[in-house]
Copies of this chain bind each other. A is one copy, B any other.
Amino acid sequence: MNIGQAAAESGLATKTVRYYEEIGLVIPARYTGNDYRNYSATNVEHLRFLQRARAVGFSLDVCRELLALYCDSERRSAEVKVLVLDKIQQIETQLHTLSALKSTLLGMASKCAGDDSADCPIMETFAAPMKSIMPFMLVEPNHE
């Protein structure tokens, strides 16, 4: 099967499928005669697996682990579960961070008239001296 169809069947972009080969996740055979990639049913199954795992937010590094577990008939389901529980933890952290940011921003917006005047409490907040401790200083920025 050509890359285009493999991509379509797995729900990935063609470029993404090539990228996954480049980083050693799913490596297809090649047709003899031309340079085209030839994806087997198993290859496509693995691509689909990766699409699902990415869709729930796992990094490619973790996806690599998950795929290895998927292929390992000797796996312990405990190993899989740990990865999922870790991810849930991460998401909870992000949820807290984002909630805090949202509160901060809502507080700012509520104080700003939002009219034609230049007066703006939001700008003042951003310019305020260090010594006044502001809520958002206690929160990590959303490095994602």
Contact = CB atoms under 8 A, between A and B. Distances in A.
Copies in the complex: 2
Contacts of A84: 105, 108-109, 112, 122
Nearest to A82: B114
Interface stretch (A17-25, A28-36, A91-99): A91-99
User: Which of A69, A80, A117, A125 has the most CB atoms of chain B within a 10 A radius of its CB?
Assistant: A80
Interface in A97-144: 98-99, 101-102, 104-106, 108-109, 112-120, 122-123, 125-128, 130, 134, 136-137, 139, 141-142, 144
B126 A105 contact: no
A74 B49 CA distance: 55
B52 A125 contact: yes
Contacts of A48: 127, 130
Interface of A: 9, 11, 45, 48-49, 52-57, 66, 69-70, 72-78, 80-82, 84-85, 87-88, 91-92, 94-95, 98-99, 101-102, 104-106, 108-109, 112-120, 122-123, 125-128, 130, 134, 136-137, 139, 141-142, 144
